[in-house]
């Protein structure tokens, strides 16, 4: 263990915490601690360039948000344990998502996820909403794909509910490792997983799940629609409400069955009718 570690505090308007945390999670695999009006990233590695990378990504997404950064070098301590102490279980739909140091619940579908990385652990509004949607729409023996799978939590939830086939993909190889570990930990099997996106899928699915930011959903819209079966469902999430109109325009030929708004984040459930 190094004698020093870097701590980057990002101050942001409270209503944008989830959005910024989601963006930061695409740039680093370090643990992210979410406060009332800030995010804290700690690492044994130097975090000097992270603030610049965040500002660059916001500019590329054409998002005008003023963030304040405070970078410190501190004496090392067991900050991973401190972070873990701040993580509590989440209930969403039929699911109880809990770190391994919590006991499972007998009356819930339990998913054990240790949030050591900045991938979905059920706490983000979009992840919780997608799990609730899956609880209500998925039928036993459905085939599903989780596009941009992160931790694999959404596909894992689908398997726990009885999905016959779970395919997962992500452009981040570390996310794929995380998903594989979480499936193994929860005694479920991934039928197929690959590095890449929906354009590499070889079959069509009863349910297609894509919890990604709005600009990417628009970018891969054609592929998402192509791999959804006729009369299948397409669940889109990760959509900041200010970006919703772009997604609605891109998927307007599908039937919108449900729109869910939670903490400035929108989830859209579409049906691809014949």
CATH classification of the domain holding 267: 3.40.50.150
Burial of 226 (0-12, 13-18, 19+ CB in 10 A): middle
Evaluate if residue 3 carries a pLDDT over 70. no
- Which CATH number covers residue 65? 3.30.70.930
**57-61, 176-180, 196-200, 207-211 — which is least confidently predicted?**
57-61
**45-59, 71-85, 144-158 — which is least confidently predicted?**
71-85
Query: Contact 120/182 with Cβ under 8 angstroms?
Result: no
Q: Identify whether 91 is part of a domain.
A: no
Query: Contact 62/79 with Cβ under 8 angstroms?
Result: no
Question: Tokens 């804290």 correspond to what residue?
Answer: 40
- Please report the pLDDT score of residue 5 as a whole number: 79
Mean pLDDT of 113-129: 65
Q: Identify whether 229 is part of a domain.
A: yes
Q: Identify whether 177 is part of a domain.
A: yes
Mean pLDDT of 161-172: 94
- Please report the pLDDT score of residue 79 as a whole number: 59
Evaluate if residue 116 carries a pLDDT over 60. no
Output 157 or 113, whichever has higher pLDDT: 157
Do 160 and 76 share a structural domain? Answer: no
Do 148 and 72 share a structural domain? Answer: no
Residues in a beta bridge with 207: 144, 233
For the chain, what is the domain count?
A: 2
Report the chain's terminal Cα–Cα distance, integer Å. 59
Q: In angstroms, rounded to a whole number, what is the distance separating the alpha carbons of residues 98 and 107?
A: 14
Do 163 and 63 share a structural domain? Answer: no
Do 40 and 138 share a structural domain? Answer: no
Q: In angstroms, rounded to a whole number, what is the distance separating the alpha carbons of residues 240 and 13?
A: 15
Residues in a beta bridge with 72: 7
The parent domain of residue 46 ranges over 4-84
Output 184 or 82, whichever has higher pLDDT: 184
Q: Identify whether 187 is part of a domain.
A: yes
Q: Identify whether 96 is part of a domain.
A: no
pTM of the predicted model over 0.85: no
Do 80 and 158 share a structural domain? Answer: no
Q: Identify whether 104 is part of a domain.
A: no
- Please report the pLDDT score of residue 220 as a whole number: 95
- Please report the pLDDT score of residue 117 as a whole number: 44
DSSP string, 128-154: HHHHHHHHHH--TT-EEEEET-TTSHH
Residue 63: CB partners within 8 Å, gap ≥ 6?
Answer: none
Evaluate if residue 174 carries a pLDDT over 80. yes
Q: What is the pLDDT of residues 188-206, one digit of tens each?
A: 999 999 999 999 999 999 9
């Amino acid at each position: 263990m190094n004698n020093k570690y870097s701590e980057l505090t990002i101050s942001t308007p409270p209503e944008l915490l989830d959005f910024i945390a989601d963006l930061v999670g695409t740039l680093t695999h370090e643990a992210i601690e979410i406060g009332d009006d800030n995010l804290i990233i700690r690492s044994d590695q130097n975090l000097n360039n992270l603030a610049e990378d965040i500002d660059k990504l916001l500019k590329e997404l054409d998002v005008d948000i003023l963030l304040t950064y405070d970078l410190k070098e501190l004496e090392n301590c067991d900050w991973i344990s401190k972070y873990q102490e701040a993580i509590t279980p989440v209930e969403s739909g039929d699911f109880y998502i809990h770190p391994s140091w919590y006991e499972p619940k007998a009356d819930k579908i339990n998913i054990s996820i240790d949030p050591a990385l900045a991938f979905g652990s059920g706490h983000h509004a979009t992840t919780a909403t997608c799990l609730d949607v899956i609880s209500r729409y998925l039928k036993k023996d459905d085939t599903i794909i989780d596009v941009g799978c992160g931790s694999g939590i959404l596909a894992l939830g689908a398997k726990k509910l009885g999905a016959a086939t779970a395919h997962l993909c992500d452009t981040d190889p570390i996310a794929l490792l995380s998903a594989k570990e979480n499936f193994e930990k929860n005694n479920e099997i991934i039928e197929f997983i690959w590095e890449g996106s929906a354009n590499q899928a070889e079959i069509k699915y009863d349910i297609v799940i894509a919890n990604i930011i709005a600009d990417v959903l628009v970018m891969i819209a054609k592929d998402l629609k192509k791999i959804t079966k006729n009369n299948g469902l397409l669940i889109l999430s990760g959509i900041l409400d200010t970006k919703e109109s772009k997604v609605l325009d891109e998927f307007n030929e599908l039937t919108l069955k449900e729109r869910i708004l939670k903490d400035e984040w929108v989830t859209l459930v579409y049906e691809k009718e014949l």
